[in-house]
Structure 1
Amino acid sequence: MYQTLLLLHSWSRWFVVIFGLIAVYRAFVGYNGRRPFVSADNGMSAAFSGFMWLQVLIGFGLYFGLSPYGLNAMKQAGAMKDPTTRFFGMEHVVVMILAAIVAQVGRIAVKKTADSTQKHRKALLYFGIALVLVLLMIPWGIWNPARPLFHF
């Protein structure tokens, strides 16, 4: 079960990254070009936010039950001194939940705004911040070859 959730969590991160990049790009182009906020913009923001929350749910399954770096590891003495345990047990979890909240707040702010330019501006701000947080907290295999970019 652990391997299945880890595989889902690993692969669905790419949906978060892709939809986040698209949502930020559309917001940037829409804001700079003073374009109308169309249904495709709304769809990308919904996909970004939705996949963020899917990741949080899968991550909770790992954190609260199955992962060796989850809640049980954090209860052990000296867990905060181990960089890997601290990253997965505390830093990764807290920042990713914060990123999901920022994306959701951005989605709500965009929906409550009437002017298209302001919608794009808010989307760029909130989704940009959320995407930066996500990109900072993904355990990229580039810096740690033991963590592959794609789990199989």
Structure 2
Amino acid sequence: MIYPILLVVHNALRWLVLGSLLIALGNSYSGWLRARPYRPIDQTIRVIATSIAHTQLLIGFYLYSKSPIVSYYWTFSPDSSQSPEFRFFSLIHIGLMFTAIVIMTVGSSKAKRQPTPQQKFRTTAIYFTITLLLILLAIPWPFSPLATRPWIRNF
């Protein structure tokens, strides 16, 4: 079955999303604060980070549609007595992640159309910072009170 394989891929891709987002943020803040020219590599970094996040979102949508946790939540009317994990994956995780990727996409698109290098870097920095904060809130970290998952998922 593909579901368990994609869970592992989704977990591993989380690190690529975070890494590429941090690289893009470091690059955009550096360019913005140092007032340097906007180079083709700057655009490539922004596009790669956004593309990895889109790939992660698509895998997440598939997992959401096949998840036994989500299926259980929507089959049996949700109430406050259910485990927070059910609400987290059925509502919070997908809602925040979707919102984060929309913000990232809008920011990437707006940055591309800015007239000056400083505005390109600034736009990327602001939108990608908001994205990072939302993603960090929505990840089921091992220490999360709502839902926990291991740092690295095995088969």
Aligned to 1:78: 78
Q: Which residue of 1 aligns with 2:152?
A: 150
Answer yes or no: is 1:110 the counterpart of 2:100.
Answer: no
CA contact (8 A) 2:27 2:42 kept: yes
In the alignment, structure 1 segments of 5+ residues that lack a partner are none
Q: In angstroms, what is the RMSD of aligned CA positions?
A: 1.7
CA positional deviation for 1:55? 1.0
Q: Where do 5+ consecutive residues of structure 2 fail to align?
A: none
Aligned to 1:126: 127
Which residue identity does 1:147 align to in structure 2? Answer: R
Output the CA distance in 2 between the equivalents of 1:42 and 1:98: 22
For 2:5 and 2:29, how far apart are their aligned partners in 1?
36
| Contact preservation (8 Å) 2:140, 2:148 | no
Counterpart position of 2:48: 47
Superposition TM-score, scaled by structure 1 size? 0.92
SS at match of 2:68: coil
User: Deviations along 1:30-54, whole A, 9 cap, x unmatched?
Assistant: 1110011112211111111111111
Query: For residues 150 and 79 of structure 1, do their structure 2 counterparts lie closer, same or farther at Cα, with a shift above 3 Å needed?
Result: farther
Query: Match for 1:112: what amino acid?
Result: R
The amino acid across from 1:74 in the alignment is: W
Q: What CA distance in whole angstroms lies between the structure 2 residues aligned with 1:3 and 1:79?
A: 28
Regions of 4+ moved over 4 Å: none
Matched residue count: 151
| C-alpha deviation, 1:70, in angstroms | 2.1
Identity of aligned residues (%): 32
Give the structure 1 partner of residue 21 of structure 2.
Answer: 20
Q: Distance in 1 between matches of 2:122 and 2:136?
A: 21
Structure 1 distance, partners of 2:11, 2:138, is 13
**TM-score normalised by L of structure 2:** 0.90
Q: How far apart, CA to CA, are the structure 2 residues paired with 1:56 and 1:76?
A: 26
Q: Given residue 13 of structure 1, which amino acid in structure 2 is its aligned partner?
A: R
Task: Quote the residue 1:58 is aligned against.
Answer: 59
Tell me the CA shift for residue 71 of structure 1.
4.2
Asked if the contact 2:73/2:87 (under 8 Å) is kept, the reply is no
